[in-house]
């Protein structure tokens, strides 16, 4: 048997060996799904079943698509199209636009706030931040669900809106936004998907051309597919059934963006002859962590089995206030770093962005380096300046070595010191530049400044960030797909996880899955914590209903935090 197959476990082999026809892979957290599907594609190419240029592998983030592309390249396969739904649609739209629509391709807006502000001002409607944010979300909500304006007007009657907006005002604001966008010959992010779908459905020759281009389909994170993405996939696929979908219903956490696990769970209804393979062997987390994850969703169709050695028992800790919770986490992390654990192997996860403020303060006071996920590495000012200067250096002195060029830039433009500064803000920039320095040092000794710039540019385009020597702070949503040795989950209390806004059964179930995703980010150590009172000291919280009974029984008050009742 091929070495590609020998490298897989029994269930992964079933995935890789079934090359033709519909397949559904129920892949649990840490089960090696990317390994299974990339080996499947590579085996298909090796055996001649797949022409690599006829395969379209879809994922939901640029980072995930880049990871798939890198793994395939390592297996000797380079011609497969690994793309996000959006990038695949954009390529097709740009290609067919001149013949179908005509004229220059429109500008694609990166956001909706500026145009919504203008629309609100023209209508003399409030342009407060909460209004703009809510209406941007409404525009996205309608488009990803492929609702006509009439269908949306009906749905809007039961949609939550800011107090300053009536249904009529909301509809008028959306209509004016669309009119302004059309007048400027622009598209927004969702328009790219909707317009591509429209071309495929209305133009037979466009549809036939796309069907000629792609023959085999692989879709990762299928539980995250929205109605417009599902419709696009069906349009790309046509009447062919050579499609492999991969997903985990326990990690459906984007329903606000139109995602539903129904596409994954009901796949067999569309394809009665589909093969289903379950990947339940977890290669990431200790048995103790997997036990907590399984207990979170007791009725799950997918129960994980850990393959790693035992580790520390997960901890549950409580404090009197959010501030004390943050200080306790910071102190614990500082001790871990002093014991030899590298900061980049540690993460603090939380439900909403506002929770990070107290954690940042506590980490800064403790002298712990940290980085908030969401601030993109290649958009950091220090990185942008470095790349700009590097571009000039490469142009004027092309033979200068990468290490010498970067050393000069760090010394002359950033007053580089060999040791990190104590000031948290300065230390953050130092850590970011140190990551660039590590990249330069990882290149061959003969690498030039131009080659370092090319490497950085490629990473920026593929959203592959280098490792920064800092603790990661992240919302649970932003942490999906990542993993760390030590994970702290803060704010595991009623009102935060689940959020107070989650009131119906579907919303509560999604909040439970969010905690599942957070727990399964941990490889070796897991600590959950909650506080009885928030920043304003008003009201009393209780720990989250989601915490399994066995873990709840271990709830320990931190030693330096006296109970609120004395």
Q: What are the tens digits of pLDDT across the range 186-231? A: 999 999 999 999 999 999 999 999 999 999 999 999 999 999 999 9
pLDDT at 357: 87
> Strands (DSSP E) along 177-297, which ranges?
186-187, 216-219, 243-247, 275-279, 281-282
Q: Is pLDDT above 90 for 267?
A: yes
pLDDT at 130: 85
Report how far residue 394's alpha carbon sits from residue 28's, in angstroms, rounded to the nearest whole number: 46
Report how far residue 254's alpha carbon sits from residue 251's, in angstroms, rounded to the nearest whole number: 9
pLDDT at 41: 97
Find the mean pLDDT for residues 486-515. Answer: 93
pLDDT at 85: 95
Query: Where residue 565 falls among pLDDT bands split at 50, 70, 90?
Result: very low
pLDDT at 563: 39
Contact between 44 and 23 under an 8 Å Cβ cutoff? The reply is no
Find the mean pLDDT for residues 351-355. Answer: 91
Which alpha helices (H) appear in 322-399, and where do they start and end?
Answer: 322-338, 356-366, 381-396
Of 527, 462, 523, the residue nearest 492 (C-alpha): 527
Q: Please, what's the largest Cα pairwise distance for the chain? A: 76
Find the mean pLDDT for residues 522-536. Answer: 90
Q: Is pLDDT above 50 for 7?
A: yes
Q: How many C-beta atoms surround the C-beta of residue 182 within 10 A?
A: 12
Q: Is pLDDT above 80 for 14?
A: yes
What sign has the CA pseudo-torsion 397, 403, 406, 412?
Answer: negative
Following DSSP, what letter does each residue of 46-103 receive, concatenated?
Answer: HTTS--GGGEEEEESSHHHHHHHHHHHHHTT----EEEEHHHHHHHHHHHHHHHHT-S
HEC string of 442-475? HCCCCCEHHHHHHHHHHHHHHCCCCCCCCEEEEE
Q: Is pLDDT above 50 for 561?
A: no
Q: Which residues pair with 470 in a beta bridge?
A: none
- Exposed, middle or buried: residue 385 (CB in 10 Å: 0-12, 13-18, 19+)? middle
pLDDT at 566: 35
Q: What is the DSSP letter of 23?
A: E
Contact between 497 and 517 under an 8 Å Cβ cutoff? The reply is no
Q: Lowest-pLDDT range, 218-232, 281-295, 532-546?
A: 532-546
pLDDT tens digit sequence for 115-169: 999 999 999 988 888 888 889 999 999 999 999 888 998 998 888 888 888 889 9
Query: Where residue 289 falls among pLDDT bands split at 50, 70, 90?
Result: very high
Q: Is pLDDT above 60 for 368?
A: yes
Tell the residue number behind the tokens 């203008």, with chain if given.
118
Quick one: what percent of the chain has pLDDT higher than 90? 62
Q: Is pLDDT above 70 for 537?
A: no
Q: Is pLDDT above 70 for 425?
A: no
How many CA atoms does the CB half-sphere of 428 hold within 13 Å? 16
pLDDT at 562: 39
How many CA atoms does the CB half-sphere of 549 hold within 13 Å? 1
Q: Is pLDDT above 90 for 251?
A: yes
Q: Is pLDDT above 80 for 420?
A: no
**What are the C-alpha distances in Å from 172 to residues 73, 140, 163, 306, 543?**
50, 16, 16, 54, 43
Structure tokens at 548: 């399994």
**Cα dihedral angle (116, 117, 118, 122), rounded to 10 degrees?**
100
Find the mean pLDDT for residues 50-70. Answer: 92
Q: Is pLDDT above 70 for 536?
A: no
Q: Is pLDDT above 60 for 530?
A: yes
Q: Is pLDDT above 80 for 535?
A: no
Q: Is pLDDT above 90 for 437?
A: no
Of 213, 210, 260, the residue nearest 235 (C-alpha): 210
Write down the pTM of the prediction. Answer: 0.87
Of 448, 385, 457, the residue nearest 415 (C-alpha): 385
Of 531, 552, 90, 152, the residue nearest 315 (C-alpha): 552
Q: Is pLDDT above 50 for 270?
A: yes
Report how far residue 373's alpha carbon sits from residue 527's, in angstroms, rounded to the nearest whole number: 19
Instruction: State the angle between helix axes of 189-202 and 204-213 in degrees (0 to 180), rounded to the nearest 10.
Output: 100
Query: Where residue 315 falls among pLDDT bands split at 50, 70, 90?
Result: very high
Query: Where residue 258 falls among pLDDT bands split at 50, 70, 90?
Result: confident
Query: Where residue 61 falls among pLDDT bands split at 50, 70, 90?
Result: confident
Following DSSP, what letter does each residue of 227-254 receive, concatenated?
Answer: HHHHHHHHHHHTT---EEEEE-GGG---
Q: Lowest-pLDDT range, 173-182, 368-377, 400-409, 416-425?
A: 416-425
Q: Is pLDDT above 60 for 564?
A: no
Contact between 430 and 470 under an 8 Å Cβ cutoff? The reply is no
pLDDT tens digit sequence for 336-347: 999 999 999 999
pLDDT at 31: 96
């Amino acid at each position: 048997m091929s070495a590609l197959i020998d490298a897989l476990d029994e269930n992964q082999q079933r995935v890789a060996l079934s090359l033709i026809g519909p397949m559904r892979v129920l892949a649990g957290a840490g089960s090696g799904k990317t390994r299974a599907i990339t080996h499947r594609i590579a085996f298909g190419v090796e055996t001649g079943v797949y022409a690599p240029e006829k395969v379209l592998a879809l994922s939901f983030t640029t980072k995930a698509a880049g990871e798939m592309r890198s793994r395939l390249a390592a297996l000797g396969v380079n011609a497969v199209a690994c793309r996000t739904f959006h990038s695949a649609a954009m390529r097709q739209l740009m290609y067919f636009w001149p013949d179908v629509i005509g004229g220059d391709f429109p500008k694609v807006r990166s956001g909706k706030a500026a145009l919504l502000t203008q629309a609100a001002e023209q209508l003399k409607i409030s342009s407060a931040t909460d209004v703009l944010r809510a209406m941007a979300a409404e525009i996205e909500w309608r488009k990803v669900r492929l609702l006509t304006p009439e269908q949306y007007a009906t749905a809007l009657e039961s949609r939550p809106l800011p107090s300053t907006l009536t249904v009529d005002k909301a509809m008028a604001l959306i209509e004016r936004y669309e009119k302004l966008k059309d007048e400027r010959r622009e598209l927004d992010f969702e328009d790219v998907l909707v317009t591509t779908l429209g071309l495929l459905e209305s133009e037979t020759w466009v549809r036939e051309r796309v069907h000629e281009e792609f023959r085999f389909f692989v879709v990762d994170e299928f539980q995250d597919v929205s109605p417009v993405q599902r419709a696009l996939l069906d349009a790309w696929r046509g009447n062919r059934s050579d499609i492999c979908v991969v997903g985990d219903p326990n990690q459906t956490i984007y329903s606000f963006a139109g995602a539903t696990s129904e596409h994954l769970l009901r796949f067999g209804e569309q394809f009665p002859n589909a093969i289903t393979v379950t990947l339940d062997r977890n290669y990431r987390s200790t048995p103790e962590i997997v036990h907590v994850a399984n207990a979170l969703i007791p009725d799950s169709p997918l129960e994980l089995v850990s393959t790693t050695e035992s580790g520390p028992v997960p901890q549950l800790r409580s404090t009197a206030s959010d501030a004390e919770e943050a200080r306790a986490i910071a102190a614990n992390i500082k001790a871990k770093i002093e014991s030899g654990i590298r900061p980049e192997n540690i993460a603090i996860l939380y439900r909403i962005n506002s929770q990070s403020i107290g954690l940042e303060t506590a980490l800064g006071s403790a002298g712990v380096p940290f980085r908030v996920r969401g601030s993109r590495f290649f958009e950091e000012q220090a990185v942008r300046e470095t790349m700009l200067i590097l571009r000039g250096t490469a142009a004027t002195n092309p033979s200068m070595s990468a290490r010498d060029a970067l050393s000069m830039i760090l010394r002359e433009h950033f007053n580089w010191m060999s040791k990190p500064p104590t000031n948290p803000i300065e230390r953050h920039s130092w850590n970011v530049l140190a990551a660039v320095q590590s990249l330069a040092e990882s290149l061959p000794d003969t690498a030039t400044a131009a080659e370092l710039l090319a490497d950085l540019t490629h990473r920026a385009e593929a959203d592959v960030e280098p490792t920064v020597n800092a603790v990661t702070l992240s919302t649970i949503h932003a942490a999906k797909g990542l993993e760390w040795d030590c994970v702290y989950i803060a704010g595991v209390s009623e009102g935060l996880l689940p959020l107070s806004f989650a009131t119906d059964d579907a919303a509560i179930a999604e909040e439970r899955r969010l905690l599942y995703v957070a727990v399964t980010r941990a490889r070796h150590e897991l600590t959950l914590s909650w506080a009885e009172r928030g920043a304003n000291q008003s009201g009393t919280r209780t720990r989250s209903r989601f915490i399994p009974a066995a873990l709840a029984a271990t709830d320990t008050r931190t030693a330096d935090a006296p109970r609120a009742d004395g």
